[in-house]
Structure formats: structure tokens, C-alpha cells
A and B are shown apart, each in its own frame.
Chain A
């Protein structure tokens, strides 16, 4: 290589490896820009009292390096619900004052044979299905959804609550609430919940506390991460973990290319895979204002771990076995799923110094042999819902204080051990499929070894990337607890597989073991969040930088599993303009 070329290459390398928030153009913080992560706030609930999440958090990635940083945005879902069309089969579904149903034969709807019914509740005066106008037919190929996009910054229905700057190339986001009954004295954070965001640009784990205020004690949708109010309003250095050897006892640094992230249910441990190397980083999050600290890096795993899911803890009757946190990891380059355990080793030294070593260690491995190839896993999800129901039934039917006899505990132990194993789902590209399995039962005290056995593989179209669990609304009966203007409904579990390349989302029904429906999306579907309480899903379109809103209410077959609204105007990437 010539010296000049070498110099140029080195310069590029240095530029890439040293992200500096002070260089380049400030990002448009309030704009959707290559969104890569969505998270719903599980603590702040909707104003209507129906239990839906109040806020949606969107992580942008600045993928094309147009700006010097990226951003995180929060949207008010109550406001969004007001502008997303309501689905209907008949006018009665729209409720009092909700307009009329744009369906054939409905009184008030023009009898125009060329009119295509939208099955949306519409204003009887205008009968227009889309309050912001209809999308050009030519656009529908790339951006499905009849209505033009909702402007999240519109002064009338301003969806945007807050935004803040973060490093470029964020890959995902997760939300966790601080445990209520936390006796940890270090958990001194006044905030109730927190976002964790792996950022490739500066190889860190960003963390953002979520503010609360009067009237919104569980969260008001605003961010708190030491942002400085500058033009990129970025989180300060204290809210980036893994980039300093001085903030952890073992002088660790987050390896490059942090990618997938997940955390234990209590948020005590956050694990981040490192995309280009065979290691996984563990952060210990004690819910203090100091934030999560890099505690351990596990090396020696197969290359390219890209999917991670926290293992839900199994219950034991006696409570003698301390539960150890665990994570399942899947790889692009290996046909296996590994179980990694967190081992905590608290210690007080002779000099009175006390500290805790949290280490991540391999605890087992399960082969993926249900597929012809098996490698190239992209997403993993663990569904513990059925086991939790079984646990509750065991505890209700068995014993508890004051009945704690040995016999009772034995029965309870047996009941807990016989509970359904958590289901495990893996999105695989070799071939394109959803691997379906469950944790493997064994003779241990918990009845499970926390490693999956895959018993089925469901064919998909090419490019599956993520697996998300959620619920859809299905028609209910008179006995149903849930109901709205359109009548009673139930919530049923579904597994959503986002296929980035083929622009589809497959909705798998785990009970019936079939693909329930296929959602056609715009370009580059990536992040997905399921709002079961509203019967909606929010989809981040990576390629064109906007969000789609998908109807997940089976009571309205004409609109079920279709995009009914979109947030932000689709913007083609610069290279394709």
C-alpha cells in the first residue's frame, strides 16, 4: 500500500474509532432518523385508566453519519391514540360521539361505488378516513398505510414530549423500572425507571433516567441524563458507562460494537453483546445515581453474538436456592444458544473494604439442530407468561403462611417444578425461520436447566431479524373482563418476527402453532413495540426513518395486521435519493 493511501486509511480508521460529540453537525433531536430501538414505559400509564403505557421511547441511530450524534425521543401515546384512526365494522363500534364507520352501507357514508371503505371511524361531516389526507397511491408501495403521516411536532396534537442527544449508532433500547421494595441502600436514585442504550459510536452503554413530576409520579416522559442544553443536548459523560477504566474495579472497557442488550426484570444486571467479537459485557446496575457499571466481560464465546435475552428466574418453594441471573445468547456464526450466568461474589476484605465481584460465566449450551443449517440467529425471546400463571395457580392451591408444613412445601415444590417451561423463540436466517422451543425440563430443584430445546421451526420469508412478544385483541364473550365501545375482547399471546429484508412482520400464534397473519410494512422494518392494551403496535422503519402504527385488534378483520397510521414523514436515505 502506498504511504498516502495508508495515511488516508489510518485517518479514516481513527475518525471512526474516536467519536467526538463536539465534531460535525448537531442532529435534529426531534426528528426520527434511522430508528433502531423502541421501548414502552411500563410504569407511566395512560390517562384513560385502561392500563396502556403512556410513553413510547424511540432511539435514533444517525446511521449515515450525517450528524455528529443521535437522539432519543419520547412520544405521548395518549395523544397519539387521539389521531390514529379508530377501527370499526359498524358505527356502533365508534361509540358515542366517535363518528360513523366508513364501511359499505353505513348511513352517512356516500354511496359511491368508487369509494374504498377504510373501516375507520370518520367524522360524519367530512367522511374523510384520514384527518391529514390520504397518501398518494404511488407511495403505498414503499409506505403502506392509507393515511398521510402524522406530524409528531404538530402544534395541535404535539406527540413529542422530550428528546435528548446520545452518541451515534445506537442499536437498541430497553426500559426497566426500579424495583419497589428494593432494600439496597445504594439504590438512591430518585427516578423510578431508566433506559439503557448500547451505542456503537463510542462503545458505551448510555443510561437515561426518566423524570417524574406532579401529577405524573410514575414518569412524565422527560429525560434526565445530565443533558447540557447545547444544540445537541446530549447526555453527559456520567450517563455513559463502559468507556472509563476508572469506574469499575477491574479496569474494564466496553469492547467495540456493542449491539444487543437485555436486562434482568429488576434491572439489576444489564448484558450487552459485542457484535464483532465473541464476548458479552455485564453491567451491574444498583439503581444509584451513579448508573450501571461495567462489571465483567466474558470472552471466548463464538463470534458475533447478536441476540440476548434475560432468563426469567424459576421459583422454588423453600427459597433456599439463591436465584442467579442468567442470559441466553444466540449467534450469527454458531448454531447454538448459550446460557450465561451471573455469579455474584460479595466480599469484605480484612481492611474493612467491601466490594462485590459480579462475573458472567458460561453455564451451558444448547445446539440449534431443528434447522438444516442452524447458525445465523438474529433475535431471541423468552416467554414466561404461562409459567407465571402456573406458579400463581400452585401458590393459590397449595400452601403458604400459616400453612408451611413440610408436606405442604413438598407439594408446592412438586407443583412448581411441574409448571410449564418458558417458551423460547429464535429468529434464524439459515433458513429463514422462527425456531420454537422451551426451556428443558430436568430433575433439578427448579425443574428446569434454563437451556432451550427446539421442537419446531416455522418457515418465514427472508431476512428475519427480531423476535418480540406481545398480545393482540381477539373477540371476547359476555364473560370477558375487557371491553370498549366495540364490545368485549380478550388478549392473546403472539410472537412477532420482524423480517427486515422482506418487509414483513410475521405474527405467530403459539397456542395454535400457526402463523396468524403477515403484516406488510414499509422499507426496513426493525424495532417493534407492542401496545397490547391499545391493540396497536409501533414499528420503526429504519430505512425511511418513520414509525408505523399497526392495528392488532382482530375484532376488525379488515384492518387487523395492517398499518393504520404513521408518525413522521418517510425520508429515503441519502444514498437512494
Chain B
């Protein structure tokens, strides 16, 4: 069917009509016999890269500048896409105006393209469109092929066929890598020629080069190409070609290459060679850190070492990889040396290598970072915030794990600090502490990044007064302002002005290997209008929406009540060098649930049937007010969206003030556990929408699992000792977040537990191992011949003849009900390291009992057994937001790292209960004999007092308020904020609060997967004249065009 559609396209052809007729007849015949099978034919195979050419027949077929295409009036100029075919050593041509793939030989079945001498790699077109150059590689076939635009269309009647002998070419000494066109605008004396300077022409060849061998007149000049006559920027066209195996770049004269005899393959004649010698500094460097990543005040300077980038081994030869050119600079990635080379090509013959960009990794400073491809952004227009404009280089860190990522280099910042090499390292972004899924100095996605590109675009709105539009105006949100910049504000229904799909500004595009193209905010001109309506003038702190430093104090509304901004949930919806949001961060009936929102109030459940309790006796999970940094005597109301309804805890005073959210639109939110009918609740911090996944179902469980069951725990027990070692080398306990008695002790200090009680408190709160595995099968030889033969005797020496497995079952229970296993399977963790846990029985009494229990456990659970680790006497948050700051410390033990590693400052997944001291202690009755008389006495199990080891916080004031008593037990992490109040009865393992959130961050992407599930994209290209982003796919799609106005695929692409 695809073939038919192509045959029907504008270029009428009698032959095609005939073919169409035959096909139609055949189809008709076929339809009479059986169900027709639709076969998608693919003309393209293993497509690689693309270049665009403007080809016209109006005044010359020799090519035009791309901005002269298409010619809608006469339709004589067509934009052609030249796509390399790496499996067939061809260059395919797609006529974007005719919307068809060009077949160069209609006499042979299938599509024929432009044949080149070997496997095509890089492809570039001169600025005036006169010729395209293709780098090819193969044993003894390395070289450059020149494709004059006059011959990138099928031959007319009488012309010779396009084949290998059509092209001029030259042979290189090794396989070419990437390639770029640079302009030599100097005269014979090496002086720059200004455009329009009369009587001056750029020099033909470089002054210090060997003279180029004169070319003989072509025997047949079927494909003329004169680059000296092409339009476009002034200067002689040169090709800067990377030779990776020779660790250098060479400069070739493009016209000289075009002048070679077609069909021959003479040696290329480099006019200049650049050895890429500029090295990385040999001294250590340090990243320039934003404020929120500098180590916390009071952090241990012995362990908190400022991140440092080590000096690099400069003996590794450079290997030029991808290239990106902008004005008089060419940036060259390096796939072996940790630098990005910067060449000043003002004089291409004497290109100077400038100090390089220095790829490093903040997360792994010792790793040698090499790069594959890169892109350089256009210089953005000057603005109030950026008077010099902004310009960035994006470079792909090709070996980053788990996926290849993108580094950002700030060119302007480097220019402002020319002597400071630290500014040549990758940009470390502000606000990364709230973006746990993105490294501080990288753009990382769920699949490796293969290519990057930039786009700068605007649709200037005419000034109402002058009628002229100005490029690059930022949206003006100030309700009191006027002028053309106010015209970019969003309208009421978000069909115009600032909004996610409106790409106005500088944007990056990262093409992933899995077929997604991510849109990256670089400098969104509309960003000032993408924010909440509330304002916060303070520069000292951000409000709960992440706003601060506003120039107005009143909400962003006009006098008529119309918003001048989008009213989104956060001031960080648009952030530079971060994926762009796919939707407005607003939860409303018209917009849907697109801001972080609870679907309903949290629900309490209890899997333990022994712990069934009435609602009024249950523990409570409740929202709590926010601190008010501007006024410590007051608080900011707790607020949360539940579905489309806003709930807020407002005081009478706040309601009277009628400021959002207490302006009458919110439903009251009850946060006092003592109030009748109070519903469990929490608030969702709105500072950074990127903290949230799109949809989440978190749970908060008492003594919840730290990680799911593992099946390979080996318990090593020595006779007579009370401690054992549980080994599982692949478990990585620290990365899993296991807390031993030392790390939990640090939490106790944070909660204000008196030092005299800390040991006991840590013992009660350290994580514990729960053996969840079953015993070897009854017929396992272990019970007959192995150590299992003695388990019964170990468990009860008085009954050694009992079946050993049965004895184990009686002692440690079965696993029929996994939610309720015997406590005798629990082992407290004394010390945790990467693959080992030092443990002791959790409920034993005295050394003999503890040592005996360990021996019994070891006997009953031989070899690798299933187990998990649970938190003790605390609530454990599970879900994507449940992050922790534990890592392997210097001595191999697990340790907290948040004080040193500020990226983890908001990581938390453990909540400690607040108890009410006004409640009577927990007791149970015990009987004893006194003088032969049985008496009953109350035994106290728990008292809400600071000396009680099980206590998290004593709630002297309930509800808990920020800064007040027990405020240390306010749980807050990136995605939730609440307090857990102890119930009337003690909390039991398995009690759970569960809730659902939605409206998390969804990145804006363009996807090839809508066209085919089997894709393997290779490269990106931007056709600014049409506003198309081109993606070349090697698998099934060939060339796909995306319209940046709609972010959808431009039909009838893909062309395959």
C-alpha cells in the first residue's frame, strides 16, 4: 500500500501509471481468490545520517540555500533529504515537497539510490546547497565522495545513469569520522575579507600547504558544481574531516574534490592537519557547585571532601568523534581522551585549538569520561537575566552507566572565566537535590542517548503600536506591565501563549536509542509565565511551591481577576537543561489531574488478624502545617489536592485574610488526631514536580520491608556465640537502605533521644532480618545424612528422636501465611556492610538462649535461605519516593551520607511515631504466687515517655506543629509530608497506610514508537525552514519528520 501511495504522488509518470494499472489488475484478481496480504515494502535499509539540499530547476539545478526552499508558488524548488544507507553503500533521496522517495533507476525492481564507494558515514552539504559530501569507509575504500546537487535527482532522458562513476571522490589514508563544512574568508595574504569587499576573493588554497595537484578538465562534466558561485555565507568551502585512527583532523578544499575526474579515486590532498594536542589540565579540578549542593554547615570535614576531579592521563592519544560547528568555532568530541576539543576556525588553514571542554562526572569523578556526539546551541538573544545571551554545548557521555547521558557546558560562563578551568567542566545544576532521578551534572533518560540537537525558534507577536515583532522577547507576567511581552501570556483556555506545546525559545533534543526524542528546556522564552499565581518576594526562602524572589507581592492576576500566568503548581515547572513537561502542572476539572495530587485519602489496613482494632484505636497518619520562615510564630496551612478538590487546614485568621489557599475555595482539612471522624491524610510538597513519577501507589507499613525477599542468605554460625553472619554477596545491603544499630542511632540523635537512652533505643529500632524461607523438603537427604539429622536435639535435647523437620516447624513455624511469620525467625542487625549482616536473635534472653537459637536457625535453614530485612518499631515508606541516604562507608560499613552528599538531603523513608503522653501506659496482666496465693498484677509494656526505648517522639502538643514539641517526628521527603500518631494499641507488623498519587512529572517526548515498535534511531537533523526535526531510523522507519509546532509526525513521513 505504501508503494501505491508513493506512485500516486504529484510527479506524474506514465511508467508509474502503467505499473499502477498492472498492480490494480493484479490486486483485483487477487481479491477474488483469497484475502490479500499487505506487505510493507522497505526501500531504505540501515539508514544512518541525513543532510538537506534545496534543489531547484527555476534558474539553476545546482542548489540553493535551504531557506530558499520550498518554492510554494512555482514549485520548482524542492527540499531533498539525503539519507545514507549503510547496508547498501548508497545515499537515498527523499523529495520532501513531492513527499516521495526518489527512485533513480525505474528499470530495475525496487528503489535504486545514489551509490557511493563504501559504507557511508558522515554527510554534509555546503551552505549554498551546491554539493553534498559523504564520508565513506571500508578496507582500502576510505574516502570522501562529492555529490553535486545537479545530479541528486534522476537522470533525464539522454543523461547517463547515476552510478559510482558519476561522482568525484578522493581516497583518505584511514577511515573518516565526522565531517564539517568550514569557510575560509581570508585573502591570499591571510587577511580576513569582509563580505562585500570589492575585488577580493577568498584564497583558493592554504598558504603553507603543498600545492594542490591541478585537475584535468573532466571528460564528461555531467554534474557541474561550482562552489565559488553558490550563495550563502561568504568564504571558500573547506571540509574539516576527522581521521580517528590517525588521531587528527584534516582540511580539504571542497571545490578541489569536486573537480576530480568522476569515477576515479585519487588520494585526497589535505591542506592542513590538526593533531588535536590541547590537553586536559594536569592538576585536579573542582566542579562549580550550586548552593544547594555545598556540604551542610557543620558537616564532618574529615569525611565530607569537596568533590574533586582528578588530573587526567594525557598519554592517551585523541580520537576525534562527533563534530558541531557554530560560527567560527568547531567542537570535536573525543572517544578516547576526556576532552572536547575546541577549534577556532576563523582562519581554517591555521585553526587554533583553544582550551578544551573537560568532561567529568560529578557522581564518579575518577571515571574517564569520553564523548561520542555533541551539539552547540545558537547564541540566544540578550535578556534582562542574560545580557550576553546564553550558549551551550551538549555532549554525550557515551559510556555513562546505566545509560549514555548528556553533559552540558556553558560557553558564556567559560568566556567570563577564561582563566578558570573549573568552569570548563560540566554544568552542575541547581535544584538537583529535589530531582532524585537525574544526576546533578547530566541529563539522563531511561535509554541511552544517541544524538543531540538544538533548536532556537520564536513566533514574534506584532507590537500593537509599531506592528513589528521582536525575536526573543520573554513573556511578561507582571499584571501591571504592558507592551509586546505581555502578549505571550497564556489565555484562559490555554490555546494560546505560554504552554507546554509552545516551543518558543532555545530547546534541546535528545534522541534515545529506544525511539524516543526528549524535549529539553534550555531557555524557554515563556518560562516567566509558567508558574503559580501566588507570589513570594523573599529571596531568602522558597515557599511551598518553590517560588521566591518575585518582584511583586500580589498574586499574578489582573484587576479583572484574570491570571497573567498559567497558575501551575510550582515555580520549577520549567527548568533549564531539564526535560520539558508534557502538560500544564494543574489539577482541575478542565485540565485533568496533572499536578501532584492525591486520588483519595490514605487507607489503613492490617494484614495481621490478631491485631484487628477499631477505627478509634488505630494509628493515624495526618498532614501537618508548614513552617513559615517569614514568621516563626505562625504556620502556613497544610494543603493538598485530592482529585480536583483542594483541601487546606486554615485557621480563622487565615480564612479572614482570604489569601490562597484559604480564600474560600478549599475544603477544610483536619489534622488533629483527636477530632472525631478525622481522615488519614498527608501533604504533597510542590517545590519540584520532577520529584514525582506520573502515578504512584506508596505504602507506609509498620516494620515494613526494606527490600523484597532474597533467596540467597547464608547464615554462618559458630557454636556458642550470640552473633552470626548472614552473607549474601550480591545483596548490596547499604544500597538497599539497611540500617544497623549504628546508623539508626544517628537517627535517634536527630530525634532528640537522650544519650543515656540511645543504646537501648538503637537496639529497639535497628533493622532486623526475617527468615522467610521454607525448610528443605521432607525427603531431602539433609534430614537423613546432613546436619539436619540433629536439629531436633538442638531444639529440645530431651526429645532428640522427634522428626527433625517437624521440630523445626514447631520452633520456627511454617510459611503458609507469609504475612504472619513467627517472631523466632527474626534476627536483629548489629552491623551492616555491603554483602554481610552481623545479626543476633531479636527475641532471645541471655547468652545461652541467644546462642542456642542461632544454632537452631542454622540447623533448620541450611544453605541459602529466603529472607528479607524489616525496619523495627517504625514505619517504612515503600514506593518510588522511598529513597535513603545510606551507602558503603570508608570501612565497608553502611553509613549515612546526606550530610556530605547534599543530593540526598531530602531522602527519607522512615517515620517514627508520635505518642500521646496523656494516654495511660500499655499494660498486660500477669499472675504470680505470693505466699501460695495467686495474685494478678499489671505489667507495663509501654509508656509514652522519653526514656521508653520504643518511643519515637513524645507528643506534648498534639497536633504536632513545625518547631513545636515532637516536630522532629514530622516525616518529610520529596513526595510526602505527614505525622504518624500512635494508636490506642501498639502498632503491629504489617499495619499499612496506602494511598495513590497522580499528576507527577511527565516529560515531553516525540516518539517513533507511534509508527513502529521496532526502531533503532541513528541521528537527528533540524530543518529550520520547515520547522521539522528529522530522525533517521536504521530499523524500519527510514526518515521520520516531526513538526515542532504540534510535536507530531509530519505525514506522509516516515519515508522508508
A254 to B513, CA, bound (A): 39
A515 on interface, CB distance cutoff 8 Å: yes
B781 on interface, CB distance cutoff 8 Å: yes
Known: A343-B863, A359-B863. A369 touches B785 (CB 8 A): no
Determine if A459 and B711 form an interchain contact, defined as CB atoms under 8 angstroms apart. no
Known: A371-B513, A372-B515, A372-B1008. A453 touches B834 (CB 8 A): no
Measured between beta carbons, the chain A residues less than 8 angstroms from B711 are 361-362
Determine if B862 and A454 form an interchain contact, defined as CB atoms under 8 angstroms apart. no
Looking across the interface, which residue of chain B has its beta carbon closest to that of A352?
Answer: B785
Known: A370-B514, A443-B887, A444-B834. A349 touches B785 (CB 8 A): yes
**CB contact list, A341-374 vs B, under 8 A:** 341, 343, 345, 347, 349-351, 353, 355, 357, 359, 361-364, 369-374
CB distance from B950 to the nearest CB of A (A): 34
CB distance from A50 to the nearest CB of B (A): 24
Name which of A90-98, A190-198, A220-228, A428-436 contacts chain B: A428-436
Measured between beta carbons, the chain B residues less than 8 angstroms from A370 are 403, 447-448, 513-514
Determine if A441 and B401 form an interchain contact, defined as CB atoms under 8 angstroms apart. yes
CB distance from B991 to the nearest CB of A (A): 30
Determine if A433 and B729 form an interchain contact, defined as CB atoms under 8 angstroms apart. no
A442 to B887, CA, bound (A): 11
B231 on interface, CB distance cutoff 8 Å: no
B281 on interface, CB distance cutoff 8 Å: no
Looking across the interface, which residue of chain A has its beta carbon closest to that of B731?
Answer: A363
B712 on interface, CB distance cutoff 8 Å: yes
A499 to B446, CA, bound (A): 28
Measured between beta carbons, the chain A residues less than 8 angstroms from B786 are 347, 349, 353, 355
**CB contact list, B25-82 vs A, under 8 A:** 45-46
Determine if B401 and A459 form an interchain contact, defined as CB atoms under 8 angstroms apart. no
Known: A357-B863, A518-B87. A554 touches B139 (CB 8 A): yes
Determine if B87 and A456 form an interchain contact, defined as CB atoms under 8 angstroms apart. no
**CB contact list, B120-154 vs A, under 8 A:** 137-140
Determine if A456 and B730 form an interchain contact, defined as CB atoms under 8 angstroms apart. no
B364 on interface, CB distance cutoff 8 Å: yes
Measured between beta carbons, the chain B residues less than 8 angstroms from A364 are 730
Name which of B96-104, B300-308, B1014-1022, B1023-1031 contacts chain A: B1014-1022
CB distance from A361 to the nearest CB of B (A): 4
A101 to B505, CA, bound (A): 64
Per-residue CB proximity of B11-28 to A under 8 Å, as 1/0? Answer: 000000000000000000
A249 on interface, CB distance cutoff 8 Å: yes
Known: A350-B789, A355-B785. A441 touches B364 (CB 8 A): yes
Determine if B785 and A372 form an interchain contact, defined as CB atoms under 8 angstroms apart. no
Q: Which of B404, B735, B863, B1008 contacts A456 (CB 8 A)?
A: B404
Known: A372-B1008, A513-B335, A560-B139. A459 touches B787 (CB 8 A): no
A445 on interface, CB distance cutoff 8 Å: yes
A339 on interface, CB distance cutoff 8 Å: yes
Number of interface residues of B (CB under 8 A): 64
**CB contact list, B372-406 vs A, under 8 A:** 372, 398-404
Known: A347-B786, A557-B139. A456 touches B712 (CB 8 A): no
CB distance from B784 to the nearest CB of A (A): 9
Determine if A444 and B403 form an interchain contact, defined as CB atoms under 8 angstroms apart. no
Determine if B1016 and A449 form an interchain contact, defined as CB atoms under 8 angstroms apart. no
Measured between beta carbons, the chain A residues less than 8 angstroms from B735 are 442
A518 to B786, CA, bound (A): 57
Looking across the interface, which residue of chain A has its beta carbon closest to that of B397?
Answer: A455
A572 on interface, CB distance cutoff 8 Å: no
Looking across the interface, which residue of chain A has its beta carbon closest to that of B1036?
Answer: A431
Measured between beta carbons, the chain A residues less than 8 angstroms from B399 are 438, 455
CB distance from B511 to the nearest CB of A (A): 12
A517 on interface, CB distance cutoff 8 Å: yes
A441 to B735, CA, bound (A): 13
CB distance from A550 to the nearest CB of B (A): 14
Q: Which of B367, B401, B863 contacts A453 (CB 8 A)?
A: B401
Per-residue CB proximity of B514-540 to A under 8 Å, as 1/0? Answer: 110000000000000000000000000
Per-residue CB proximity of B881-903 to A under 8 Å, as 1/0? Answer: 00000011000100000000000
Determine if A343 and B714 form an interchain contact, defined as CB atoms under 8 angstroms apart. yes
A449 to B730, CA, bound (A): 7
Determine if A345 and B1016 form an interchain contact, defined as CB atoms under 8 angstroms apart. no
CB distance from B439 to the nearest CB of A (A): 14
Number of interface residues of A (CB under 8 A): 56
**CB contact list, A407-451 vs B, under 8 A:** 418, 430-433, 438, 440-445, 449-450
Looking across the interface, which residue of chain A has its beta carbon closest to that of B729?
Answer: A324
A457 on interface, CB distance cutoff 8 Å: yes
Q: Give the one of B786, B787, B888 with max A CB within 10 A.
A: B786
Measured between beta carbons, the chain A residues less than 8 angstroms from B862 are 345, 347
Determine if A418 and B1016 form an interchain contact, defined as CB atoms under 8 angstroms apart. no
Measured between beta carbons, the chain B residues less than 8 angstroms from A450 are 730
Determine if A369 and B789 form an interchain contact, defined as CB atoms under 8 angstroms apart. no
Measured between beta carbons, the chain B residues less than 8 angstroms from A359 are 863-864
Measured between beta carbons, the chain A residues less than 8 angstroms from B137 are 514
B166 on interface, CB distance cutoff 8 Å: no
Measured between beta carbons, the chain B residues less than 8 angstroms from A369 are 403, 446-447, 514
A371 to B1012, CA, bound (A): 12
Measured between beta carbons, the chain A residues less than 8 angstroms from B1008 are 372
A461 on interface, CB distance cutoff 8 Å: yes
Measured between beta carbons, the chain B residues less than 8 angstroms from A363 are 712, 729-730
**CB contact list, A14-43 vs B, under 8 A:** none
Per-residue CB proximity of A286-305 to B under 8 Å, as 1/0? Answer: 00000000000000000000
Looking across the interface, which residue of chain B has its beta carbon closest to that of A509?
Answer: B175
A363 to B730, CA, bound (A): 6
B689 on interface, CB distance cutoff 8 Å: no
Measured between beta carbons, the chain A residues less than 8 angstroms from B841 are none
Determine if B712 and A361 form an interchain contact, defined as CB atoms under 8 angstroms apart. yes
Known: A370-B513, A456-B448. A431 touches B1014 (CB 8 A): yes
Determine if B835 and A455 form an interchain contact, defined as CB atoms under 8 angstroms apart. no
**CB contact list, B346-383 vs A, under 8 A:** 364, 366-367, 372
A116 on interface, CB distance cutoff 8 Å: no
A50 to B372, CA, bound (A): 38
Determine if B789 and A373 form an interchain contact, defined as CB atoms under 8 angstroms apart. no
A321 on interface, CB distance cutoff 8 Å: yes
Determine if B366 and A456 form an interchain contact, defined as CB atoms under 8 angstroms apart. no
Determine if B404 and A418 form an interchain contact, defined as CB atoms under 8 angstroms apart. no
Determine if B1016 and A339 form an interchain contact, defined as CB atoms under 8 angstroms apart. no
B1035 on interface, CB distance cutoff 8 Å: yes
A512 on interface, CB distance cutoff 8 Å: yes
A554 to B448, CA, bound (A): 32
Determine if A351 and B335 form an interchain contact, defined as CB atoms under 8 angstroms apart. no
**CB contact list, A365-418 vs B, under 8 A:** 369-374, 418
Measured between beta carbons, the chain B residues less than 8 angstroms from A339 are 730
A554 to B785, CA, bound (A): 61
Measured between beta carbons, the chain A residues less than 8 angstroms from B1054 are none
Q: Which of A432, A440, A443, A517 contacts B888 (CB 8 A)?
A: A443
18 A/B residue pairs, CB under 8 Å, sorted by A: A347-B786, A350-B790, A355-B785, A357-B863, A363-B729, A369-B514, A372-B1009, A432-B1035, A438-B401, A443-B888, A445-B834, A449-B732, A455-B404, A456-B448, A456-B513, A459-B86, A459-B1018, A461-B87
The 9 closest A-B pairs by CB, nearest first: A459-B1034, A557-B139, A363-B730, A431-B1014, A453-B401, A453-B402, A431-B1035, A372-B515, A361-B712
User: CB within 8 Å of A: which residues of B?
Assistant: 45-46, 86-87, 119, 137-140, 175, 244-245, 335, 364, 366-367, 372, 398-404, 446-448, 450, 513-515, 711-712, 714, 729-730, 732, 734-735, 780-781, 785-787, 789-790, 834-835, 862-864, 887-888, 892, 1008-1009, 1013-1016, 1018, 1034-1036
20 more A-B residue pairs beyond the given contacts A343-B863, A438-B401, A455-B403, with a C-beta to C-beta distance below 8 A? A321-B729, A347-B862, A349-B787, A350-B789, A353-B786, A359-B863, A363-B730, A369-B514, A370-B403, A372-B1008, A372-B1009, A372-B1015, A373-B1013, A373-B1014, A430-B1014, A432-B1035, A440-B401, A450-B730, A456-B398, A461-B87
